[in-house]
Chain A
């Protein structure tokens, strides 16, 4: 590229000028999350429309386990707390604190996925599959998409963890973790909505 030669590299060069004052990556990611909101909004609406339309069992009321899911919801909420701490540690330049924090988020996220895997297999043994009825289709697709998002988040965090451990995540680059954090909190909030609308509300 013609212009590479004129580029200057500073380890701590100031944030480039932006019209809003927000880092471009962060603004873009917020917009993306807005788009994701509509994605999950549509999925949740679909679930709500079909909530009571299954013509054969097993029905949602027979299967959904609120106490168990409350625990997994709590786990996911705690992971968001860990995310806040991890980001704080990285911003303060604590590699060790940051690593523990990120690892905690990843572990809690994986634990949540474990709960989901247990729930899915349990439902499967109760005779609920994707094909069984509208509840099966809409439940697995909705929570499946959410689980896929959590899985992606865990992978993302693990990549960042490696990067951090290799010294690639100094406070000046904490925006990378902040973005992952935005994503993580978003996925968490989506779960709150799913938990409320799918599990709690009759």
Chain B
């Protein structure tokens, strides 16, 4: 096979002794391996969060159920939200940024490979730290939004919220590092000729997402510091007796929290914008408008945070402002949807699994979009907010939008990761199961909410007369589980038995399809020079030759390093030792981190 021949001369010029796989992963700075680590970790936590979701739905399958205690339920719904946002949604997007973006822009790695590894290890350790709270039965229980002053020492005296605040602080730091890395990578490491407006849409959305990450997460970091200091050092930021205002927390949280929504959904837009053109065999309709609307969404996304707070009592002027700004954001979003449809128009549509998921996403995301406009109708949002109507809405956006796109991407890029195709037949089985189960679970929740059931309740009264709808919703979960089980089975089966894919099984247009599947460690034998937006359609010979032809004589890749994992461990250790309440204990972690950082700084990278 041509691909293998092209690989051989470069990656193994001086065969080294075979390394231990675990050690290799622990010290790797290769963006592809780190991407896979992120992806596998995120999928693992998707299972964890899914189990939590299942427990929630079992508890709500009947009124006054005692399957879970109030305390257990509150921990589980908090961790379900926190896990799905921070340990699934964000890292799975980062996994794709890692693997795909350098390939799409014709780069050999990300801008700061060791920083990339550091991000991953802090993410992993932070995630494990936060989940370790289950072992002592004190998982976070303040909701993923952690509203003050419920989360203050006075009303949450256990260690639950400490795990939450410290764990998220670590995860946030990891995200910021990742954001810095990807902005720099995308701006600076593009192949010659790849102007900004020639970048694939997915890379564009990665760039915008990264901008949102580096701007929104620091705000959250401040909020978390304030609550942490309140809890550990007795500051009075959210202590009402001292004049502190819990509503300040809400502003800080949602100033981060709403951009966070776009951090989660923009990558999905990027994925769908890659898949629809390829399987319609047409370029993306209105590329420039797609870029600008994405940028506009990211920008306006900063000016809508208080639409989460209409019930807080901000006064009519603020309500009106945030109502209108929120409605405006629907316009660029609508434009994207119409442009996707227009891309399909006149095309030659192949109904592969990724395309099915993309089309499914178009529909389900639109449902989430219109219920979003209903929320924006702030007088009635006072009825909707904190009810299951909102739960239905954001699951349509985050599952119907993000997860559908992620599953689409899994089928779409799996050949690139492994050199093998996933089973399309089982893919379709999995799509329909998941699509039906998803709608069965969340469509009834629109009515459950508008007929009077609040969110975050561990029990409800039979008198609400909502038992039937709740049972339907719970039943849907099991259909979804079946769908996901088929998906995982497909992945495992395809890893060994999938049909060999070759470098470009779908006729993709972008540079990742120029190189072999999986790509060599250095990605491209020579850095391609780009003249068009669709190099693999319009200049594929040159692109393939650069990627798989005669390698350039000197290819420099950064050597692997154990300092990232060493430093990450120290950083998370600092947070863990904070829990001891001994003032000197975190200094141990800090010293460890500093030691790592200094060795890092003076480690030779050539």
Mutual binders A and B = yes
Give A residues with C-beta under 8 Å from B: 1-9, 17-20, 22, 24, 27-28, 31-32, 34-36, 38-39, 42-43, 46, 49-50, 53-56, 130-131, 133-134, 136-138, 141, 159
In angstroms, Cα B217 to Cα A134, docked, is: 24
Query: Contacts A17-B192, A42-B252 given; 11 further ones with Cβ under 8 A?
Result: A1-B557, A6-B13, A18-B188, A19-B192, A22-B188, A35-B180, A35-B218, A38-B214, A42-B218, A50-B248, A141-B226
B522 in contact (CB, < 8 A):
yes
| Contact, CB under 8 Å: A35 / B215 | yes
**A2 and B218 in contact (CB under 8 A), knowing A28-B180, A130-B234?**
no
CB<8 Å pairs between A and B, sample of 28: A1-B16, A2-B12, A3-B521, A3-B522, A3-B557, A6-B553, A7-B554, A9-B606, A18-B188, A20-B187, A20-B188, A22-B188, A24-B184, A28-B180, A35-B179, A35-B215, A35-B217, A39-B218, A42-B223, A46-B237, A50-B244, A50-B248, A55-B242, A55-B243, A130-B233, A131-B233, A141-B226, A159-B598
Size class of the B contact interface (CB-based, 8 Å): 35 or more
B245 in contact (CB, < 8 A):
yes
| Contact, CB under 8 Å: A1 / B556 | no
Chain A residues, CB < 8 A from B218: 35-36, 38-39, 42
| Contact, CB under 8 Å: B188 / A53 | no
- Determine which of B188, B214, B235, B560 lies in contact with A1 in the assembled complex, contact meaning CB atoms within 8 Å: B560
Q: Mark B543-576, 1 if CB is under 8 A from A, else 0.
A: 0000000000111110110000000000000000
- Determine which of A6, A22, A24 lies in contact with B555 in the assembled complex, contact meaning CB atoms within 8 Å: A6
Write the nearest CB–CB distance from A45 to chain B, whole angstroms.
9
Chain B residues, CB < 8 A from A42: 218-219, 222-223, 252, 255
Chain B residues, CB < 8 A from A56: 242
| Contact, CB under 8 Å: B243 / A27 | no
B506 in contact (CB, < 8 A):
no
Write the nearest CB–CB distance from B18 to chain A, whole angstroms.
11
Q: Which B residues between 174 and 230 are near A, CB-CB below 8 angstroms?
A: 176, 179-181, 183-184, 187-190, 192, 194, 214-219, 221-223, 225-226, 229
Write the nearest CB–CB distance from B446 to chain A, whole angstroms.
35
| Contact, CB under 8 Å: A137 / B557 | no
| Contact, CB under 8 Å: A133 / B236 | yes
Write the nearest CB–CB distance from B242 to chain A, whole angstroms.
6
Chain A residues, CB < 8 A from B598: 159
Chain B residues, CB < 8 A from A35: 176, 179-180, 214-215, 217-218
In angstroms, Cα B557 to Cα A32, docked, is: 24
Write the nearest CB–CB distance from A6 to chain B, whole angstroms.
5
| Contact, CB under 8 Å: B184 / A31 | yes
| Contact, CB under 8 Å: B560 / A54 | no
| Contact, CB under 8 Å: A46 / B219 | no
Nearest A residue (CB) for B601: A159
| Contact, CB under 8 Å: B243 / A133 | yes
Chain B residues, CB < 8 A from A6: 13, 553-556
Write the nearest CB–CB distance from A146 to chain B, whole angstroms.
13
Chain A residues, CB < 8 A from B14: 2, 5
Chain A residues, CB < 8 A from B15: 2
In angstroms, Cα B194 to Cα A92, docked, is: 35
In angstroms, Cα B179 to Cα A136, docked, is: 33
Chain A residues, CB < 8 A from B225: 141
In angstroms, Cα B598 to Cα A1, docked, is: 22
| Contact, CB under 8 Å: A39 / B189 | no
| Contact, CB under 8 Å: B521 / A134 | no
Nearest A residue (CB) for B598: A159
| Contact, CB under 8 Å: A2 / B11 | yes
Ranked 5 nearest A-B pairs via Cβ: A39-B218, A137-B235, A28-B184, A42-B222, A19-B190
| Contact, CB under 8 Å: A19 / B187 | yes
| Contact, CB under 8 Å: B237 / A134 | yes
Nearest A residue (CB) for B14: A5
Write the nearest CB–CB distance from A144 to chain B, whole angstroms.
10
Write the nearest CB–CB distance from B550 to chain A, whole angstroms.
14
Write the nearest CB–CB distance from B146 to chain A, whole angstroms.
16
Q: Mark B3-14, 1 if CB is under 8 A from A, else 0.
A: 000000011111
In angstroms, Cα B193 to Cα A17, docked, is: 12
Write the nearest CB–CB distance from B319 to chain A, whole angstroms.
20
Write the nearest CB–CB distance from B150 to chain A, whole angstroms.
19
Chain B residues, CB < 8 A from A134: 236-237, 242-244
Chain B residues, CB < 8 A from A5: 13-14
In angstroms, Cα B16 to Cα A2, docked, is: 6
Chain A residues, CB < 8 A from B223: 42
In angstroms, Cα B242 to Cα A137, docked, is: 11
| Contact, CB under 8 Å: B183 / A31 | yes
**A27 and B555 in contact (CB under 8 A), knowing A42-B219, A133-B242, A134-B243?**
no
Nearest A residue (CB) for B255: A42
Nearest B residue (CB) for A42: B222
Chain A residues, CB < 8 A from B447: none
B592 in contact (CB, < 8 A):
no
Chain B residues, CB < 8 A from A31: 179-180, 183-184, 214
Chain B residues, CB < 8 A from A50: 237, 243-245, 248
Write the nearest CB–CB distance from A128 to chain B, whole angstroms.
12
Chain B residues, CB < 8 A from A38: 214-216, 218-219
Of A2, A5, A18, most B-chain CB atoms within 10 Å: A2
Write the nearest CB–CB distance from B256 to chain A, whole angstroms.
9
B376 in contact (CB, < 8 A):
no
- Determine which of B12, B111, B243 lies in contact with A24 in the assembled complex, contact meaning CB atoms within 8 Å: B111
Q: Mark B490-514, 1 if CB is under 8 A from A, else 0.
A: 0000000000000000000000000
B67 in contact (CB, < 8 A):
no
B134 in contact (CB, < 8 A):
no
- Determine which of A2, A7, A32, A54 lies in contact with B606 in the assembled complex, contact meaning CB atoms within 8 Å: A7
B147 in contact (CB, < 8 A):
no
B478 in contact (CB, < 8 A):
no
Chain A residues, CB < 8 A from B287: none
Q: Which B residues between 369 and 383 are near A, CB-CB below 8 angstroms?
A: none
In angstroms, Cα B222 to Cα A132, docked, is: 20
Chain B residues, CB < 8 A from A53: 243-245
Chain A residues, CB < 8 A from B245: 49-50, 53
Write the nearest CB–CB distance from A12 to chain B, whole angstroms.
14
Nearest A residue (CB) for B105: A19
| Contact, CB under 8 Å: A34 / B233 | no
Of A17, A27, A35, most B-chain CB atoms within 10 Å: A35
Nearest A residue (CB) for B217: A35
| Contact, CB under 8 Å: A28 / B112 | yes
| Contact, CB under 8 Å: B235 / A141 | yes
Nearest A residue (CB) for B194: A19
